[in-house]
Structure 1
Amino acid sequence: QHQPPTLVVWGRHDPIFGPEGAVAFLRDLKHAELHLLDTGHFALEEEHALIGDLMLRFLDRHVAR
């Protein structure tokens, strides 16, 4: 089965979806790239520049030009 490259960005201090939820992705998506950030539930609001950079680097590695 085909599994496209997957970027998982997760807040380490998320009170709703803890870090164990992020690790669960790796059981099913063996080649997923996981980044646990020092944020809460709203990681994108707290670390938008960092997440944007992670996304751009991920796309540079996985999207043909």
Structure 2
Amino acid sequence: MLATWGRNDPFFLPAGAEAFKRDIPDADVRLLDTGHFALETHADEIAAAIRGFLTA
């Protein structure tokens, strides 16, 4: 599982992303230096993470 998350998101806190690892220890959780609208500010980085995840 891949989760890309805004480290500065005031609604979905980083602890929520890290919680995925309790259920899926091999989860790839990436905290990005952004807020709630991560795709608007980090689309290229998120797209690259998705491509890498799907081809690994």
Give the TM-score category using the shorter length. over 0.9
**Counterpart for residue 50 of structure 2:** 55
Instruction: Please give the root-mean-square deviation of Cα atoms over the aligned residues, in Å.
Output: 0.6
Larger Rg: 1
**Residue from 27, 38, 59 that aligns with 2:33:** 38
Misfit runs of 4+, over 6 Å: none
Question: So what's the TM-score if we normalise by structure 1?
Answer: 0.83
Letter in 2 for 1:14: D
Structure 1: which 5+ runs fail to align? 1-5
**Counterpart for residue 10 of structure 2:** 15
Distance 1:50 1:10 in 2: 12
Distance 2:6 2:12 in 1: 8
**Counterpart for residue 3 of structure 1:** none
Aligned residue pairs total 56
Q: Deviation at 1:29?
A: 1.0
